[in-house]
Amino acid sequence: MAYFDAASAVPLHPVARQALLASLDEGWADPARLYREGRKARMLLDAAREAAAEAVGCRADEVVFTASGTRAVHTGVAGALAGRRRVGRHLIVSAVEHSSVLHSAEVFEADGGTVTQVPVNRAGLVDPSHYAAALRPGTALACLQSANHEVGTVQPVAEVAEECRAVGVPLLVDAAQSLGWGPVEGAWSLLAASAHKWGGPSGAGLLVVRKGARFAARGPADERESGRAPGFENLPAIVAAVASLRAVRAEAAQEAARLRELTERIRTRVPELVPDVEVVGDAERRLPGIVTFSCLYADGEALLHELDRAGFSVSSGSSCTSSTLTPSHVLKAMGVLSEGNVRVSLPAGTAEEDVERFLEVLPGAVAGVREKLGAPAAPAAVRGPGEVVVDSLGKRCPIPVIELAKVFGSVPVGGTVRVLSDDEAARLDIPAWCEMRGQEYVGEEPAQRGTAYVVRRVS
């Protein structure tokens, strides 16, 4: 089985395993105690904090260990907002942040705060000038991920941090995807990360709050971790997490070059091997191991199952993998195709032959899914003067797009197709189909049921 989902979690690094086992024997005691066993535990904790600070590029007393990366984000956002509540109640986030950031923003907004979402371009990249425009006197905090978890686009953190620093607003960086590859540059104020992204054990994260950043911990007071992460430290997990971070950093430069070549091979060859594919994410500013593409006329969940049967573990941001059947918020913000979405994220050590085998298997897997879906034997199309109305109510994407494609050839140049759909994903996938096909997306109109998406044939 080829594991190609490193953006979700990485297998435990051998160094992390060794450190975990060793610290289970040496680090079981309370590091707050003064007897011998407690002093041993304290030495391990202090050494881990120093090593983490070196890897991040900060002071040791700015590092707090948390129970997860999500907990680090929640704690960081809430604490920074509370620390600057006298300044104002305005929060800035990008539209493609991890759900942990967006959920924190939702809680803040429900409590009376205001939130500005900064848009991204079609490659998933924010424009620093948009952050600068969103800043205002009452802004308490801005958040920006270092790199996107779904499409791999690396964000201009240093430039955004400089815009924020110029007006005295702290910037919180979610560095979960990138910290294993290197430190985050720029004058950021807070940083969160998660160990299972770089080969450490799950249940270990870190939060960095730089000196000078106002921070007020939420919840009951606790003496541990500067009062910012209550509860007994999971010392074996912390030691293993930091050990693995140092180990992957030592190999990062060489492995990054190798994985970039493999992912560029996938980015180049997938559109050659599979028709009607959109490769998404920035072609240059990207993490070494992530490549994401979407396939027209294919169901994302069915495609993942086909690839799983063929021996490949991949993931998707497709609407089809969500229990709510709504498009990935990242793909939606980018305005790219969501149907048939596949994210390939290669872990360190991925064999070249596994990538080649994936490229051999993929065309057949996509073709098989498309054949199984097909188009309805008798598409419900009602012809009017210069217009075709396709009734796809009650049908989930990619079926509305398939039915659009099936009837589009019968429409004269200048004519339109009106697709009736009540699937939220159609709002993203029909405009994306138009862009891929070079046709005009007129827009959407209310209908008696669902929404009418109007497409005009221009060629």
Catalytic residues: 320
By DSSP bridging, strand 290-295 and strand 341-345 are: antiparallel
Please give the distance of CA 338 from its chain centroid, rounded to a whole number.
14
For residue 218 the two structure tokens come to 């939420």
CA dist 301 and 162 (Å) reads 41
What single DSSP character describes residue 11? P
Q: Identify any residues that bridge with 139 across adjacent strands, giving them in sequence order.
A: 90
Ramachandran sector of residue 285 (left: φ over 0; alpha: ψ -120 to 50; beta: rest)? beta
For residue 179 the two structure tokens come to 């910290």
CA dist 143 and 117 (Å) reads 10
CB 144 within 8 A of CB 185: no
CA dist 303 and 320 (Å) reads 10
Please give the distance of CA 177 from its chain centroid, rounded to a whole number.
8
SS3 of the chain: helix, strand, coil, percent, to 5? 40, 20, 40
**Residue of 9, 47, 63 whose CA lies nearest to 246:** 47
CA dist 399 and 47 (Å) reads 56
Q: What are phi and psi of 3, to 5 degrees?
A: -90, 110
Q: Identify any residues that bridge with 208 across adjacent strands, giving them in sequence order.
A: 63, 191
CA dist 342 and 333 (Å) reads 17
**Residue of 150, 419, 84, 173 whose CA lies nearest to 292:** 150
For residue 331 the two structure tokens come to 């793909």
CA dist 253 and 169 (Å) reads 33
